[in-house]
Structure 1
Amino acid sequence: MWKDRQAQLCLLSILLAFLPSSSLLNGDLKYMVLAPSQLYTETPEKICLHLYHLNETVTVTASLISQWGRRQLFDDLTVDKDLFHCVSFTIPRFFSSEEGEFLDLDIKGPTHKFSKRNTVLVKNKESVVFVQTDKSVYKPGQSVKFWVVSMDENLHPLNELFPLAYIEDPKMNRIIQWQDIKTENGLKQMSFSLAAEPIQGPYKIVMQKQSGRKEEHSFTVMEYVLPRFDVDVTVPNAISVHDEILSVTACGKYAYGKPVPGDVKISICHENQYSGSETESECKEVNSQLDNNGCRKEEVNITDLQLYRTNKMYCTLQLLRVEATVTEEGTGLEYSRSRTIKVERSTSKLIFLKADSHFRHRIPFFVKVRLVDIKGAPIPNEQVFIKAQEIRYTNATTTDQHGLATFSIETSDISGHSLNIKVP
């Protein structure tokens, strides 16, 4: 323990080197005491004493004073010659306090008397405890397995005794408890079985330490079932404010892959998000029957949602939220799935495929762009313009079948060291 604390003593120690005035003048009798500035309860601690040029017999005592009273750390130590000695002591847990306490040191002899008081911090030494279950959600009647891991402050495995451990249901009833649980090599595995019809909700595993402190871990008990079928919705990632038709495909499939017979309700909501978190929404619905493949494709007319009328100055985001609800034939069981579509004000965009970050004078500078619609499909046979401001260069070309357009800019007339290229 003392070797482990040497580095701490160098940083956190109280160094006491005090001399009576007569001794200071003669330079013959000296005292030095070394003690940690932070002490832990229930842990062996040490105070080291260094006496030299000793010319008489003295007694040394050390006491800890707190709100609980005075506690002598070791009996009177009698010294009659030069000495370097470390004295071990242990502080009970009840002496712990988050406020500063006092360490009193007294050295007495026939002609010398020395007393000094310094502030120290006494803390309870607490272990680090983790409780982990094998799952976060359990069904009634299942077995709950959990592990208790105990470590010291340096995260080394610790064999720790827990006087009490128990399970608490959502109504704070103890449904099972154990006594004197001890970790081995820092680990203890435990388990218990849930009742066939337990109270559903959050449960707690509580581990009570010897200090009275409790460590808790929560899990949930609920009757859950997997969905009988799943719903899939296929929509474009983005549309234009000028689009009038939205293509939506909704499918219902059982877990084993068979199509679901029944109906589907498709809800399309136009949402405008404004600054200040304000949101406006307008919706329309389409009801239809699933085909033999469990799917339905609808070409929905969205002109009545008036996407183009949004105030673009204040609107920060424009979306279409599409939700498909499939109702199983015969049972009326329903499951839903939703998708979000971004509404763009532009109908196309240009992507730079080649445009080097540097150019050389008198060597042509090549630029290649691709023109695509908002869905990412290439747009052929469209005219694309390009400008180079430094040389007042403007040119146009037509995209090929892949939406590609290539430009060659002559750089001989550029007098500066930069070139700004813009595709309107």
Structure 2
Amino acid sequence: MERQLVLLLLATVCLRIASSSESYIVVAPKTVRPGATVKISVTTFRAISDVDVRAEVVARGVVRTSARKTVAPNAADFIELQMPEQLPTENGEYSLVVAGSGGLTFRNETTLTVDQKCVSVFIQTDKGIYKPGQTVMMRFVAYKPTLLPYSGKIEVSISDSSKNLMAKWKDVQLVNGVASSDFPLSIEPPVGVWTTVGVWTISVSGDVSGKMLIVSYTVVL
């Protein structure tokens, strides 16, 4: 008996269901992020009984995370996969494997894209325009994709309108996702748009697995 799989990745849709055959639809994101929860939709058609569905993320033959769910015949359900906090690229290519057994037997594997942005950093200043001799007050707020605060360390640097490095702070410790700092301007600073950059890194065995630059602009008059 012909069994068909329809795998929907992001906006790509391909749907073909034979009226006389057992079928199913799997919907999953093409891109995943470290620490995020991935929802996979599974729908069964004309299954003879409950279908035991297992989803797993595999890299170099090693299962990095997995979950399973029993889906009723002619019904839809979700499987939630909790991604690891680190998905280093040295593990090789990541794949999503979805397999069913029981009332419907199938197996499908597709390649995943890993987006290493697992922290969003927001940089705030106390105002947008500064005059010579004033102090720039800054606050850094960092969140994970789950909206939980990121309590690691970030590196912050300030460059003037000519992209000259004016100040740099290493290993700024975030407490409950928040840290603050200040930078006094000289009496005769370069006029123009200044740039504040925040960098976060996550290390696995000494290797950087993720880095993100977040930029805010300050006008000095």
User: Structure 2 length normalisation: TM-score?
Assistant: 0.56
> C-alpha offsets along residues 186-235 of structure 1, whole Å, 9 cap, x if unaligned?
xx7542669xxxxxxxxx9664436463647799xxxxxxxxxxxxxxxx
Aligned length: 188
Partners of 1:73 and 1:17 lie apart in 2 by 28
Greater helix share, 1 or 2?
1
Counterpart of 1:213 (choices 211, 214, 221) is: 211
Residue in 2 aligned with 1:412? Answer: none
Partners of 1:152 and 1:78 lie apart in 2 by 30
* Structure 2 residues without counterparts, runs of 5 or longer: 1-7, 159-163, 186-194, 203-209
AA of the residue aligned to 1:120: L
AA of the residue aligned to 2:98: L
Partners of 1:113 and 1:176 lie apart in 2 by 54
Equivalent residues in 2 for 1:123-142, closer than 5 Å: 123-125=115-117, 126-127=119-120, 129-130=122-123
Distance change >3 Å, CA 73–CA 17, structure 1 → 2 = farther
Counterpart of 1:179 (choices 173, 186, 190) is: 173
Distance change >3 Å, CA 192–CA 72, structure 1 → 2 = closer
Greater strand share, 1 or 2?
2
Partners of 2:93 and 2:13 lie apart in 1 by 14
Q: Larger Cα Rg: Structure 1 or Structure 2?
A: 1
| Larger relative contact order, structure 1 or 2 (CA cutoff 8 Å, min sep 6) | 2
Residue in 2 aligned with 1:163? Answer: 153
Mean Cα deviation higher: 41-50 or 78-87: 78-87
Distance change >3 Å, CA 218–CA 60, structure 1 → 2 = closer
Equivalent residues in 2 for 1:320-331, closer than 5 Å: none
Question: How much identity, in percent, do the aligned residues show?
Answer: 19
* Structure 1 residues without counterparts, runs of 5 or longer: 1-8, 19-23, 195-203, 220-424
Partner-residue secondary structure (3-state), 2:47: coil
Residue in 1 aligned with 2:33? Answer: 40
Partners of 1:79 and 1:138 lie apart in 2 by 66
Residue in 2 aligned with 1:115? Answer: 107
Contact map agreement 1:150 1:183 (CA 8 A) in 2: yes
Question: How well do the aligned residues superpose, as a CA RMSD in angstroms?
Answer: 5.0
Partners of 2:138 and 2:87 lie apart in 1 by 35
Partner-residue secondary structure (3-state), 2:48: coil
Contact map agreement 2:122 2:214 (CA 8 A) in 1: no
Equivalent residues in 2 for 1:163-312, closer than 5 Å: 163-165=153-155, 178-182=172-176, 190-191=181-182, 207-209=198-200, 211=202, 213=211, 215=213
Q: Does 1:146 align with 2:138?
A: yes
Counterpart of 2:86 (choices 86, 94, 99) is: 94
Partners of 1:213 and 1:34 lie apart in 2 by 29
User: Structure 1 length normalisation: TM-score?
Assistant: 0.33
